[in-house]
Amino acid sequence: MSSPFDMIQKNVQDLISNTPIEDIQNNVKSIVSQALSKLDLVTRDEFNTQVELVKDLQERVEALEAKLQENE
């Protein structure tokens, strides 16, 4: 069974479809997509991968610094 919100959303979508509003909506989506692509953003997965790499590198640096302290 659909929630009231889903029913309202479907009714609005039906009302908008095949009207100038739909064209405007599609144009706005396109403009926003183009603007976001120019910002050179990364995905959450790419960001999380880089965070893990940095953490690993930090641990390695700390281990090497500890070895240097032992040898001095």
pLDDT value, residue 18: 67
Whether residue 13 is found in the same domain as residue 24? yes
Whether residue 18 is found in the same domain as residue 8? yes
Whether residue 36 is found in the same domain as residue 48? no
pLDDT value, residue 65: 96
Q: How far is it, in rounded angstroms, from Cα 29 to Cα 16? A: 15
pLDDT value, residue 57: 98
The count of domains in the chain is: 2
Please say if the pLDDT value at position 1 is more than 70. no
Instruction: Give the pTM.
Output: 0.48
Domain span including residue 61:
42-71
Whether residue 4 is found in the same domain as residue 34? yes
Please say if the pLDDT value at position 70 is more than 80. yes
pLDDT digits over 11-46, tens only? 777 777 767 777 788 888 888 888 878 888 888 999
Whether residue 18 is found in the same domain as residue 32? yes
Whether residue 23 is found in the same domain as residue 49? no
Q: How far is it, in rounded angstroms, from Cα 5 to Cα 51? A: 38
Whether residue 16 is found in the same domain as residue 27? yes
Whether residue 30 is found in the same domain as residue 50? no
